[in-house]
Amino acid sequence: MPTLLLGLIAVAVFIVMLGTLRWWSTALIAVIIATTLVPRPIGVEIAGVPLQTYDVVIVGVFVIGFVVSRRPNFALFLPFLVLLVLGAIFEWEPDPQLSTNVLYLLVGVAAWAVGTYFAKHYVPGSRHETVLIVSLTVLILFQAVVTVLQASGVPIFALQGRTAELEGGRASGTFSHPGTVGKVMILFMAILLPLTGSATARTRRLAYFAVLVALVPVGLSESRANFVGYLLALLVWFIIMPARSAKASRFVVPAVVLAGALIFSGTIIDRFTGDPEGGARQHFVEVALEAISKNPWLGVGPGNYIPVVGQTDNLTAQGWRVHNVFLLEITELGIPTALFFFLPAVVLIILSIRLMRRVDETGAWARGAIAAAAGTLVTAVTGWGLMNGSIFMIWFLCMGFSFGMLGRRGSPEFGPTAATARAKRGTRTRQARVSAA
């Protein structure tokens, strides 16, 4: 009954928002809330597969977006989808676990398509931009407040079960693991960093504020990889920034890096000192490589890493996966399917590198994608959390948004100087009209 009641309330709120903010803004807010604040089961199963809040919201936006745009927005994933379906039908042992994880991957592809859809209908300087930056800023500020309270001993959004036993004492925000909140902050850099160059002053200020505040949950969650990844993303953004960029950008980024190093370095160094080798990570890599060598082409099946690989390794049988997203997916999907799974991300990076020297809006989004990818890569090769829960959806949503922004036509002038230039052109136009009259 509580789930049904919450569902009815959510639908009512959605309808009210739809009438006030219109479809694009309402859909964006719904996706952000479902993936970051309430990523939980809704108590409904389809063919034995339990549905999550983000499954329903992402698929709903995907279907409506497809009907409206008449374009699939996931063409790069077609080879992966074909191999995934063939593997599920002919190769991997059918069971509820396989079905759940195949659906999980399919919703991830839908999240990419939704991100692309949002980007193609995004209007810079409009209500779209305001809703986007305000939503992300409020979310990050909320995560910062929650992590501060958690670090102060307040039992809010407390960890549960085994995670609480292993990770107790670390802040986790509204998520179920301390490592998740920092990864989300890094992923959102793909959107926040480009918006620091918006032609709208309010957007620029909020974007800078959000980038600064994101340091709080990253630091308080005490994840070494996330801390390094966050600082690396900012450093890469600073390094590839055009020389003509605003002075504020060239001051804020180094200041954040220095502040992060000074404030949280003690805690991070303590974790490095207490566990310099990262636990049994090397052992897990060896186990994964051995599993890949046994079945390199077809894999063990999505979600079957622990049941299959755990038959030959005691630690894996206890629930420990290889701490490397690429090795994990190769083990589960096989080399060909895993390559096609990561192909769109590779295409995004290649396209971003080609466009990053541009000084317009496209160049800014290209640099944001590169910076976020650099930070995300650190977390991808040191853990498997990017493929866990709603963070996978956020990852593909952000990449899809970046990809969509790079594919926009007629990229406008960007940055505070663009606003000045447009104002001057407007003044000249009005003067010309007066003279003509």
Summarised one tens digit per residue, pLDDT across range 2-60 is 555 555 566 666 676 766 778 899 999 999 999 999 898 988 888 788 999 999 999 99
Segment of 9-13, 151-155, 166-170 carrying the highest mean pLDDT: 151-155
Contact call for residues 246 and 177 (beta carbons, < 8 A): no
Per-residue pLDDT of 96-148, as tens digits, reads 999 999 999 999 999 999 999 999 999 999 999 999 999 999 999 999 999 99
Q: Report the alpha-carbon distance of residue 19 to residue 10 in Å, rounded.
A: 14
The total of other beta-carbon atoms located within 10 Å of residue 213's CB is 18
pLDDT tops 60 at residue 366: yes
Q: What are the beta bridge partners of residue 50?
A: 45
For 126, the token pair is 């409009």
Lowest mean pLDDT among 65-74, 80-89, 139-148: 65-74
Percent of the chain with pLDDT over 70: 81
Nearest to 414 by CA among 365, 359, 367: 359
Amino acid identity of residue 329, one-letter, is: E
State the angle between helix axes of 78-86 and 335-355 in degrees (0 to 180), rounded to the nearest 10.
170
H or E stretch including 226? Answer: helix 224-240
CA distances from 351 to 30, 79, 362, 404, 407 (A): 29, 20, 11, 11, 10
Please calculate the CA angle 228-231-236 and round it to the nearest 5 degrees.
Answer: 115
pLDDT of residue 432: 45
Q: Report the alpha-carbon distance of residue 329 to residue 335 in Å, rounded.
A: 8
Higher pLDDT, 326 or 65: 326
pLDDT of residue 263: 75
Over residues 382-405, mean pLDDT: 96
Q: How many CA atoms lie within 13 A of 117 on its CB side?
A: 29
For 183, the token pair is 């990864």
Q: Report the alpha-carbon distance of residue 303 to residue 384 in Å, rounded.
A: 12
The structure's pTM equals 0.90
Lowest mean pLDDT among 46-60, 89-103, 248-262, 379-393: 248-262
